[in-house]
Structure 1
Amino acid sequence: MAAASTKLPEGRYGRSRTADERADRKLMIVGSVLGVILLGVVGWFGYDYINGTKVSAEVIKFDVVSDKAVEAHLEVRKDAGARGYCTLRSQAESGAEVGRADFRFDQQKGRIDKVVTLRTTEKATSVELLGCHSD
């Protein structure tokens, strides 16, 4: 008897196994490259968020000086040399907003105590710090 062939006929059962392995390898390379890029972008934003220039503040006290103005004692903490601004708003007894303003802080010091005057459209009963941002 003749020896039986153990090799499968060419092309009869789809692509050869080596073509599938090549396609899998290309997909793994592309996936790895995209994963590294994504990791780099997330790392960049995380670093910037943690180590970016920070400006923070606190309203120490406020005084209603008239029906049209409120004075607020603001303490600002920032990196020395950083520039930024803080936004304050005041509200009437009804809860309606009666004043809003941005106050800039360009001094070179890292801690600034300043009394600012916020103009209002009617008598205010509160002052609120909405936030601070760096330039």
Structure 2
Amino acid sequence: MSTASTQLPEGRYGPSADERADRKLKVIGGVLGVALLVLVGWFAYYYVGGNKISAEVITFSASDSAVKVHLEVRKDTDASGYCTLRSQSADGGEVGRADFRFDQHSSRIDKVVTLRTTARGTTAELLGCHAD
């Protein structure tokens, strides 16, 4: 004697619960994957092309009450904005911080700025530049 099969005939009653769950997970995974790609693309665009002004510290010299910083600023010709500089003492404490504006109609600006300090600064750090 043979035993009767307990499985339903293939395809007769529609997809099984496991197949429906697999399809749901695939759709959810696809939507989340697309959302992640959009987010990464947005961050990449902002990081690469979103900032219209950037700068670099070329050199600096310090005295007891100020730090002179030579900056090279690169920006769009019509852009205006500011760069933030700070200086720290030998023990790591911040002794000066200031914003310097760059409104000139030029794409490259070499400028020496003076950052006033409360004590002798040993560093000149560019914290960032921001377009208006």
Aligned-partner Cα distance in 1 for 2:78–2:85: 22
User: What is the aligned partner in structure 2 of residue 57 from structure 1?
Assistant: 55
- Please give the residue correspondences for 1:11-22 in structure 2 after superposition, counting only pairs within 5 Å: 18-20=15-17, 21-22=19-20
User: What is the aligned partner in structure 2 of residue 76 from structure 1?
Assistant: 73
Provide structure 1 residue ranges, at least 5 long, that are not aligned to the other structure: 11-15
Q: Is the 8 A contact 1:86 1:129 kept in 2?
A: no
User: What is the aligned partner in structure 2 of residue 26 from structure 1?
Assistant: 24
Q: Deviations over 1:106-127 (max 9, x none)?
A: 22311112222221223x3534
RMSD: 3.1
Aligned-partner Cα distance in 2 for 1:43–1:95: 37
Secondary structure (helix, strand or coil) at the match of 2:54 reads: strand
Cα pair distance change 1:26/1:114, threshold 3 Å? same
Q: Is the 8 A contact 1:53 1:82 kept in 2?
A: no
Aligned-partner Cα distance in 2 for 1:71–1:49: 29
- Aligned-pair distance for 1:128? 0.8
The equivalent position to 1:126 in structure 2, one of 100, 110, 122, is: 122
1:102 alignment partner AA:
D
TM-score, L = length of structure 1: 0.67
Provide structure 2 residue ranges, at least 5 long, that are not aligned to the other structure: none
2:78 alignment partner AA:
G
Q: Is the 8 A contact 2:55 2:129 kept in 1?
A: no
Secondary structure (helix, strand or coil) at the match of 1:75 reads: strand
Q: Deviations over 1:59-97 (max 9, x none)?
A: 334455x64333333221123223332222334466543
Aligned-partner Cα distance in 1 for 2:117–2:20: 71
Cα pair distance change 1:91/1:38, threshold 3 Å? closer
Cα pair distance change 1:22/1:106, threshold 3 Å? same
- Please give the residue correspondences for 1:79-98 in structure 2 after superposition, counting only pairs within 5 Å: 79-92=76-89, 96-98=93-95
Total equivalences in the alignment = 125
